């Protein structure tokens, strides 16, 4: 059994190398890291809205350095015209008047309150800060979690399906039907290759983007969550590749899974949008498991039991589909 598994594992690695899968993974890692360091973190540190103040008499002495002064109302109009999300504060009449282009009502209120708060720094209440993460750490963990989730659900899923479609297309799956090996090893070997590659990817992505000390601290739980998601997605990818006829059908399934399954999860987990049915969405729990791992929040044993059950069920379904595939006509 050991020899058979070694042979399958070696062959699967070679297929991934020849398919340039590892190169692609390294490319994605570089891309994600560049995006986090050069784009996302800088973007998150920027003020939410630019605030322009017209105060010819200099009445606003306590203003924040984030407030940009303009020399006239015409200059403010010009600034708001080129930055429609910006907020203008007109203090020329003694009282401060908020000037802005209209958007959604609740957003406009937030913009106005934010702008006014920058003029009264001492009056702003100091909130009690929960958690130990700095804003940058929080931003880094959030974006790393999202990228890892995306990589595992979309890219990894596509990778394993592509490998299996290739083997299905050239018919070699049928040769394995008459080889003296346990048929589940064929599936296990692929799962192992993709799991290991996903784990290495998760380690590098976490250490590079969360930081070595912070990253190492959360890594054990992150790797456990990565393993759960990786196995699930690899099994779903295998199942799709075995059940669907060709890559065209698979592309449709891929779109359904990647867009319609992942989008509500991202919305519910990262914004104030909450769907009533989101608790029934399996990926929501997996995503939250990964997010909780990054933020060191406790994860329910019920979730682990559910994940283990899902993996076992998916594995059995893949085995069944694999048996069906190898018995097909040539």
Any contact of residue 11 with other proteins (CB under 8 A)? yes
Query: Looking only at residues 173 through 212 of this chain, which bind other proteins when binding is defined by CB under 8 A?
Result: 174-175, 177-182
Cβ closest to other proteins, residue 16 vs residue 158: 16
Residue closer to other proteins by CB (options 185, 234) is 185
Q: Which stretch in 5-13, 104-112, 134-142, 254-262 sits in contact with other proteins by CB under 8 A?
A: 5-13
Beta strands in 87-240 (DSSP E): 87-90, 97-99
Q: Which residues pair with 67 in a beta bridge?
A: 51
Residue 24 CB, nearest approach to other proteins (Å): 16
With a CB cutoff of 8 Å and minimum separation 6, the contacts of 18 are none
24 touches other proteins by CB under 8 A: no
Q: Does 320 bind other proteins (CB under 8 A)?
A: no
Q: Pick the stretch among 11-19, 29-37, 49-57, 77-85 that binds other proteins (CB under 8 A).
A: 11-19
Sorted by sequence, the CB contacts under 8 Å of residue 27 that are 6+ apart come out as none
Q: Does 4 bind other proteins (CB under 8 A)?
A: yes
Residue 122 within binding range of other proteins, rule CB under 8 A: no
The contacts of residue 195 (CB under 8 Å, 6+ apart) are: 227, 230, 231, 234
Which ranges in the chain belong to alpha helices (H)? 2-18, 21-35, 41-45, 73-82, 105-117, 135-150, 157-169, 172-177, 183-210, 212-243, 247-255, 262-270, 282-295, 301-326
Does the protein bind other proteins through residue 107 (CB under 8 A)? Answer: no
* Residues 213, 207: Cα–Cα separation, whole Å: 8
From 170-178, 223-231, 236-244, 290-298, give the range in contact with other proteins by CB under 8 A: 170-178
* Beta carbon of residue 234, minimum distance to other proteins (angstroms, whole number): 20
- Within the chain, how many helices (H) and strands (E) appear? 14, 4
Closest by CA position to 102, among listed 77, 89, 85, 125: 85
155 is a site residue for other proteins (CB under 8 A): no
Q: Is residue 7 within the footprint of other proteins (CB under 8 A)?
A: yes
Contact footprint for other proteins (CB under 8 A)? 3-4, 6-7, 10-11, 14-15, 18, 170-172, 174-175, 177-182, 326-327, 329-330
């Amino acid at each position: 059994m050991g020899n058979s598994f070694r042979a399958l594992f070696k062959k699967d690695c070679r297929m991934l190398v020849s398919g340039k899968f590892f190169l692609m993974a390294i490319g994605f890692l570089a891309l994600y890291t560049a995006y986090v360091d050069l784009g996302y973190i800088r973007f998150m540190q920027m003020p939410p809205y630019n605030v322009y103040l017209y105060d010819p008499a200099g009445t606003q002495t306590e203003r924040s350095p984030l407030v940009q002064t303009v020399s006239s109302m015409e200059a403010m109009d010009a600034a708001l015209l080129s930055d429609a999300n910006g907020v203008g504060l007109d203090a020329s009449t003694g009282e401060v008047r908020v000037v802005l282009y209209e958007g959604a009502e609740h957003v406009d209120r937030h913009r106005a309150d934010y702008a006014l708060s920058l003029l009264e720094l001492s009056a702003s209440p100091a909130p009690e800060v929960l958690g130990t993460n700095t804003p940058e750490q929080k931003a880094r963990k959030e974006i790393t979690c999202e990228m890892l989730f995306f990589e595992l659900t979309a890219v990894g899923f596509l990778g394993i399906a592509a490998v299996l479609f290739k083997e299905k297309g050239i018919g070699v799956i049928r040769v394995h039907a008459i080889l003296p090996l346990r048929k589940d090893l064929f599936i296990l070997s692929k799962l192992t290759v993709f799991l290991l590659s996903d784990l290495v990817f998760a380690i590098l992505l976490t250490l590079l983007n969360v930081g070595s000390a912070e990253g190492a601290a959360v890594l054990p739980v992150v790797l456990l969550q990565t393993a759960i998601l990786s196995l699930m997605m690899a099994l779903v990818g295998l199942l799709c590749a075995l059940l669907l006829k060709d890559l065209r059908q698979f592309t449709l399934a891929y779109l359904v899974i990647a867009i319609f399954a992942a989008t509500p999860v991202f919305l519910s987990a990262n914004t104030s949008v909450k769907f009533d049915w989101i608790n029934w969405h399996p990926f929501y729990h997996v995503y939250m498991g990964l997010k909780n791992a990054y933020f060191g929040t406790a994860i329910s044993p019920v979730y682990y039991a559910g994940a283990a059950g899902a993996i076992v069920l998916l594995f059995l379904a893949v085995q069944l589909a694999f048996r069906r595939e190898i018995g097909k006509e040539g």
